Amino acid sequence: MAHALRNRRWYRYLSHFCRILFAMTFIVSGFYKAIDPWGTILAMRNYLVAYDITAPDWLVTTLSIWLSGAELMMGCMLLFKVRIRMVSVFATISMIFFTVLTFLSATVVPVEDCGCFGELIKLTPWQSFAKNAILLPMALCFWYRYRPDRMFAFSKLEFSLMCLFFTFAMSMGAYHYLHLPLIDMLPYKVGVNIAEEMDNVRAHQSSEEVVLIYRNRRTGRVREFALDDKAWHNDKRWEWVDTRVESNLHSVEPMILEFYISNHDGEKTSEILSHKGRLYMLFMANSDYSEKVQECFEAVENYAEQNGGSVIYITPEDIADSPSNIYNMDAKTMKTILRADYGLVELEGGTIMAKYNYRDIPY
């Protein structure tokens, strides 16, 4: 009976559909995590904190790069039909694990963002669970379809493709960890004026919308209209019931509003954003950095001095008796602005002109 089911035409089409859709989902998810491994690291740390698990930074970094690379690799192997029997086993196991994990995140161990699609698509815990609950039956479908195949019977072409996909996927994550994301999906993109964006967000948050509630005189059905919707003007058809004013205030502030800089004298955000001329902001996760980082920072200082710019250091550390050009910022905000432990952000009139990992600083 099982053999007959596998060979039914409708089941073959269904398994192919599930395989392709599953593969594309994993490719998109893995790609956007691979080009932003720092985002995956932050998401993984959120899970570790939620479950009260302590892990060294190097292990979290390695697992984050491996996870994004493994998703991208599995998606490519499924799409190009490379050892589907083997990949389907790993896909099914991983989906069982993540379905349980996201269910726990939505219920007893809350985690705000699963990081499933990096910064491309933000999902709530329940949305993440629903997504996994849909993907799990798909994985089971093509796993069952290819169950009779041998798991490790690689042809030369399949082995070559697997090695190619593995090298590509892991190299993507490693490269973007050492440099900056290929696609910046965060609020602090090059070209963004931070002060203007903060004002726009505040204006949007404090805006109010008038909702008009009318009843259809013929059917009795109630419908809501926006104030600029002229359909409710037909008083022969619509009877006024109520008017409601809705506020667009958000319970969670958008990330752009988390931009806050201070020093021992207090808040300096407005001063920094209104600074005239080019401002070179050197980001450092901590003050214990290598000679290579020191050389890069000194090169920026020399370049700024020669070109009439100003240099400040940004750190989450509270450094006693720190020089006047050292400012403080929340560590999470720093990682949102610049996906690196050490690097350079150039501002001019509050506009982000350039961003560099310290390895790529051109001065």
Q: Give me the torsion for CA of 76, 79, 81, 82, rounded to 10°.
A: 0
Does this model's pTM top 0.85? My answer is no
Supply the pLDDT for residue 253.
53
CA count, 13 A, side-chain hemisphere, 113: 16
Please state the rounded mean pLDDT for residues 56-79.
92
Q: Return d(Cα 30, Cα 11) in angstroms, integer.
A: 28
Supply the pLDDT for residue 161.
93
pLDDT of residue 90 exceeding 70, the answer is: yes
- Of 244 and 230, the one with more pLDDT: 244
Q: Is 224 helix (H, G, I), strand (E, B) or coil?
A: strand
Residues 324 and 336 sit within 8 Å (Cβ to Cβ): no
Which parts of the chain are beta strand (E)? 208-216, 222-226, 238-247, 262-263, 266-267, 278-284, 310-315, 326-328, 342-348, 351-357
**Interstrand relation of 262-263 and 266-267 (parallel, antiparallel or unpaired):** antiparallel
Helix axes 9-34, 125-145, angle to 10 degrees: 130
Q: Please give the CATH topology (third level) of the domain spanning 255-360.
A: Glutaredoxin (3.40.30)
pLDDT confidence tier of residue 207, bands split at 50, 70 and 90: low
pLDDT confidence tier of residue 73, bands split at 50, 70 and 90: very high
Q: Return d(Cα 330, Cα 350) in angstroms, integer.
A: 18
pLDDT tens-digit series, residues 105-149: 888 887 777 777 767 677 888 888 999 999 999 999 999 888 888
Q: Return d(Cα 199, Cα 214) in angstroms, integer.
A: 35
Q: Return d(Cα 360, Cα 296) in angstroms, integer.
A: 9
Q: In the chain, what are the domain boundaries?
A: 2-178, 208-247, 255-360
pLDDT tens-digit series, residues 6-27: 778 888 899 999 999 999 999 9
